[in-house]
Chains A and B, each alone.
Chain A
Amino acid sequence: KAGVTQTPRYLIKTRGQQVTLSCSPISGHRSVSWYQQTPGQGLQFLFEYFSETQRNKGNFPGRFSGRQFSNSRSEMNVSTLELGDSALYLCASSPRTSVIETQYFGPGTRLLVL
Chain B
Amino acid sequence: AQSVTQLDSQVPVFEEAPVELRCNYSSSVSVYLFWYVQYPNQGLQLLLKYLSGSTLVKGINGFEAEFNKSQTSFHLRKPSVHISDTAEYFCAVSDSSSSNTGKLIFGQGTTLQVKP
Contacts and interface: CB of A to CB of B under 8 A. Distances in A.
Contacts, number: 72
Prevailing SS type, chain A contact patch: strand
A42 B36 CA distance: 13
What class of interface size applies to chain B in its complex with A? 20 to 34
B102 A31 contact: yes
Given A4-B43, A106-B43, A107-B43, A101 B102 contact: yes
A79 B88 CA distance: 30
Nearest to B6: A42
B43 A90 contact: yes
Contact of B106 (A43, A48, A102, A106): A43
Interface of A: 4, 31, 33, 35, 42-45, 48, 55-56, 58, 90, 92, 94, 97-108
